[in-house]
Structure 1
Amino acid sequence: MNTASGIAAKLQDITASMSDYNPNALTVQQAQDIMRAYVQPVCGIEKLTIRQALGRVLAADIISPINVPGHDNSAMDGYALRGEDVADGLELELKITGTAMAGAEFTGMVGYRQCVRIMTGALMPAACDTVIPQEFTTKISDDEIRISAGSLRAGDNRRLKGEDLAIGTVALHKGKILTPADLGLLASLGIPEVSVQRRLRVAIFSTGDELRSLGETLESGCVYDSNRYTLYGMLVRMGCEVLDMGVIQDNPDALEAAMRSACENADAIITSGGVSVGDADHTRQLMRRLGEVAFWTIAMRPGRPMAFGKVTSTGKAAYLFGLPGNPVALMVSFYFFARQALQQLGGAEIVPLPIFRVKSNANVRKRPGRTEYQRGILSIREDGELGVSITGSQGSGILRSMSEANCMIILDDEQGNITAGEKLSVLPFAGLI
């Protein structure tokens, strides 16, 4: 968790420096920029074996202690020869003088118009700098092959020493979220352990007298709370530790106790509900009283209301993300605001979301002046290109539409109606949601 002194910038100073700042009409980009300027990474590093480090954030650059590969070697099965023998590009007959196997050095000599049978990964014999694949040769006898004219150039099919990584260069950068390929790369360098950032601890709770937890009786007018389960899944996907504080009723004392406990035990707090103008005013008052919190109306749909800042209790501080109560609005707000801020808080390198341009399969209605996020289904069209269709009704309370969708359609604030066949921006959910 953070200490109150660990957060450098003041939210009011950041917003005061923006000439066009209007908390009642904030653009998506402005809100993202404010979060980026305000959030500071937490401290805390631990050392893990590489198998334990999957999905964790690298805390320091990994410098290659060796050359990869360590020696010039063959990129394929074939015959190693001297490049000068094929310089003229003419048909060539070569005598086979031996075999070079992977893991063993060939110590023989290779002279003019001679070659060595070589396996993939085997060290290049002295004087050899070129490999011809065996399928591009013609066998003349057990110890002689023919190469057709123009089938090879000097230096072909040879992997150079240090070609992948040279000793002393950065193999993986600080802030990298480690993938399976990264674990293999670390192993190839002989590195058994790495330093990673500690996991973020995120407290979550929902507010609302109408909400019930699973297992409770559902009275008339009440609904089961789905937001905590959605948040749990998204946060676990990010590698966070989740402190689920349940449903907090719209009671000032209960809310303050929950907020203080969350602040004292977590790096960040995510609430759902209670931040709209029409919600219980004591929730907004409490957030203001416990810290520096801004309440925004963002020019977007769904997810207009949002609270952001930090709260403090007994010298401990936690970042606060007050997200809307509607299920789809909550997910949209998380992915386009909280997710990147939490990555930054955890010390991760911020990688832009993978947004693509694809054809719309139908007309899409859109009013300029706000950013809209609509649920979509990506598929292959008859013309062979990717196309996207909307998943029916786009109400912010229809969580089923998020379950059915495999992408989010992003319509920028200046964009108007879309006609069928026109390209628009989509964010695939694969690996994200």
Structure 2
Amino acid sequence: MSCLHNKHINPLIFLNLNGKNWHLNDYIKRGGYKSLKKILYNNINPKKIIKKIKNSGLRGRGGAGFSTGLKWSFINYKYPGQKYLICNSDEGEPGTFKDQDIILYNPHAIIEGMIIGGYTMGITIGYNYIHGEIFKAYQRFNIAIKEAIEANILGNNILGSNLKFNLYIHRSYGSYICGEETALLESIEGKKPQPRFKPPFPANFGLYGKPTIINNTETFASIPFIIKLGAKKYLKIGKPNNGGTKIFSISGDIKNPGNYEVPLGTPFKKLLKISGGMKNKKKIKSVIPGGISTPILLGEIMIKINMDYDDILKHGSMLGSGAVIILNETRCMVKILMNISNFFKKESCGKCTPCREGTGWIYSIVKKIENGFGKEEDLEKLLLISKNILGNTICALGDAASISTSSFIKTFYKEFLYHIKYKKCLIF
């Protein structure tokens, strides 16, 4: 899905979005690679960089929201063998389309962030794992890598220093499961992309059995700005424990769907306004705040929420990947859940029995309800299946299907019941 609008309140990651100013020279004119030079020329201690990233409040922008600085501290800087750094650009969840735009419009911010990460953790090889269906992003990032190599920003003796860092691209299979970090590792190794049991965790046993750190595209693109601004200033852009800006991919029943970069903690009401408001003057019914793997919330609740990890969690959902799907009063929740459950059924890798069988079972029951053949006991059955999936799979795909299903039924129980009783949608 391509975005129609790209806007920012505090321009950090999206600096220029006219499609032209993404080359190396343009990035340098905007102050690009100054953070890397600052680190190299001042020989800044890696421990100080990790402390700065911790203090900035930067949390993983891929969905989990884990402290980036804390994750970087897990890897052994003095490990004698090869270590790896991976950028997870496998953006495959419906409603999510921010990472491809960062690659398209500001690829060098990602490269600079990864080089800084390599310096900080003593890693000399990195990969950007790009979703197989966004070929233009792959092509553009490949050009950006070549530009960086020619300018001695990648390779050996970077910018005249002793730093070595080589960066490669790996295109994914286009499967949703590839976004799970250990399935991603299996894919790079040439295996079927299925999740690994954890522990051991990638920081200890990752790519080719070596220590590996994996971060999201937006996370890496944020690193140069933290070094440039300082931890305190970056943190103040957002709010405590939620530093900096966040790019929200807004889609659904709004006037101007697209990517919007705003400070974390921005009220949803304001985000709705800057994206044009509701389309055709319809009322807001519900919102999926962080991608289809997060619980759905009523519009009347969402309108009171601030867009940050903690406030959304407090209200019963998650910020996730930042894919905000807005639904109006005409939408049938049964049909939407049917489409979501069909996605999870198709994307399940099949490794775990609860996920493999459960996602298919959920879809078949919801489809039966949508087509007018449902029974009241089907709702309790769906909740029971969801409960039996939750926490019983290797990765979070099964959990996502479970959480999505149970949240739809609990939030819109009367609507599902009406659909079963009258064989039609409550909204008509």
Q: Per the shorter chain, which TM-score range?
A: under 0.3
TM-score by length of 2: 0.24
Higher helix share: 2
Structure number with bigger Rg: 1
Q: Provide the TM-score with structure 1 as the length reference.
A: 0.23
